Structure 1
Amino acid sequence: MSKSAVLVSIVMPAYNCEKYIVEAINSVLAQTYQNWELLVLDDGSKDNTLQIINEFGEKDSRVRPLQNEKNMGVSATRNKGIDLATGDWIAFLDSDDLWEPSKLEKQLEISGRYLAEFLFTGSSYINEEGEPFKGIFEVPERVTYKKLRKHNVISCSSVLVKKKYFENIKMEKDDMHEDYAVWLRILKLGVTAYGLNEPLLVYRISKNSKSGNKLKTVKMTYRVFRFIGINPIGSAYFMLRHTLASVRKYKRIFL
């Protein structure tokens, strides 16, 4: 199969995001790699999100508007998107984040070079109004399970991973960092994640996001380690390491 024939399925949960989702979808439409499908799953929005999604679907058949019958939460919604995806690759993009145009193309190039099946990128950051922060988040070239336990360097909206890994591993429990738990479980299989140290993800930091509440995010990190089977003392240890690494990370972002 030629590289151009590889279909990437992009999963985008959407809930009351009329303010940002147009930018998010447009950043997918602007990708230099064009063989993708975008599954946008409305999770019971009360604003105009569903109407916006449907309008994009009418204009471009690669955009697949979907609607949950009731609010399911982000984990179940992502799982539903994965189940309905038809591509060999899964990418995630939150409805308030953005991609740089070369994101998918560059990741697939790395995949071909290293036979990689799990890839992620660095990030730049914007606030709720789209104003950029000066700092960027740099990522290592490769990450193993042991390294990822110390600090989650994998942003969900930057990931590109083979769909086969989601056959037995699902996103669970919205009261923790459900994506981090999935990355750890995949890497625990012996998989190596390959990082592209370029800010190809534009991550929006909002007051209501998980990353915006530091005490909440510490508790959620602890729950991740307990969920994957690490004992309480070990979970507290890795939570502390993760917290210190996160403090250093955000100091660099908010320059």
Structure 2
Amino acid sequence: MSNSPKKENLVSIIMPAYNCEKFIKDAINSVIKQTYQSWELIVIDDGSRDNSVGIVKELLNNDDRIRLYINEKNQGVSATRNRAISLAAGDWIAFLDSDDMWERTKLEKQVTFAKKNNAEFLFTGSSYINEDGNYYQGIFDVPKKVTYKKLRTHNVISCSSVLIKKRFFGSIKMEKDDMHEDYAVWLRILRTGVCAYGVNEPLLIYRISRTSKSGNKIKTIKMTYKVFRFIGINPFGSAYFMLKHIMGSLKKYRRIKFIN
């Protein structure tokens, strides 16, 4: 399939890939099925040892909007995303992790909202599945608008739900894989005075994996603290906001239960 959308309408979708043969086909197919069709998908494999690359090659043979790059050596998710952003041709950037999926209208609803509200940073709500693709009960609702001050107390922006103008990444990059690198970026962007706008529908299908960063709760608490220290908040302030996050996360996951 071939098209040449205008740069300002083109959404460049960023997908890092690492040993994700079990999930990546579903992730890519959720992009192909989008009702909004002006997109390119940039997949960068970061040294997979399974058949991830082979699966992507099969899919891109049927859709020339899919582009595959391979890192010469493992660089980590931050460097991989930064490389993909540098290769992006569109004015819009969307992120989709290789184990997550989108509902069919995800991009269309965000682009429509952006045009109507002159928004440049958007995110959505989420539903949840486990590693076998079974849904959890409950969804994650998001507010209509988030500022820097609000986001410090609870990260309501899921990376795989984000649609954002590429211009924000001119001076701000993703860094340090030992923390929540995406959260640090959202805070730094919002600190410039812009707002992020939520589309309160579960347009992201988020996979809860035992091996993900968020799968280990003690680890994720430590990584949250590191985010606040990284953006320049003092140790006491970082501890305070970390506690706010713990309370917010407990409230969030209390509503999410596995459906037997």
TM-score (norm 2): 0.96
Structure 1 stretches of 4+ with a deviation exceeding 4 A read: 2-5
Contact 2:8-2:90 at 8 Å conserved across structures: no
Alignment of structure 1 residues 154-233 onto 2, 5 Å: 154-233=157-236
* Structure 1 unpaired stretches of 5+: none
* Structure 2 unpaired stretches of 5+: none
Equivalent of 2:110 in 107, 110, 114? 107
Q: 1:122 to 1:233 in 2, by over 3 A?
A: same
2:55 maps to: 52
Secondary structure at the residue paired with 1:235?
helix
Matched, 1:253 2:256: yes
Secondary structure at the residue paired with 1:83?
helix
Distance in 2, Cα, partners of 1:211 & 1:98: 17
Distance in 1, Cα, partners of 2:100 & 2:165: 21
How much is the aligned-residue C-alpha RMSD, in angstroms? 1.3
Alignment of structure 1 residues 30-179 onto 2, 5 Å: 30-179=33-182
TM-score (norm 1): 0.98
Distance in 1, Cα, partners of 2:135 & 2:195: 31
Distance in 2, Cα, partners of 1:88 & 1:240: 37
Secondary structure at the residue paired with 1:75?
helix
Distance in 1, Cα, partners of 2:195 & 2:255: 26
1:202-234 CA-to-partner distances (Å, cap 9, x unmatched) read 000010111111000000000000000000000
2:242 maps to: 239
Matched length: 254
Letter in 1 for 2:79: A
Contact 1:4-1:35 at 8 Å conserved across structures: no
Distance in 2, Cα, partners of 1:69 & 1:115: 39
1:11 maps to: 14
Letter in 2 for 1:59: N
Distance in 1, Cα, partners of 2:6 & 2:36: 10
Letter in 2 for 1:66: Y
Cα offset, 1:254, TM superposition: 2.1
Letter in 1 for 2:225: Y
Secondary structure at the residue paired with 1:136?
coil
Distance in 2, Cα, partners of 1:236 & 1:3: 46
Letter in 2 for 1:193: A
Secondary structure at the residue paired with 2:131?
coil
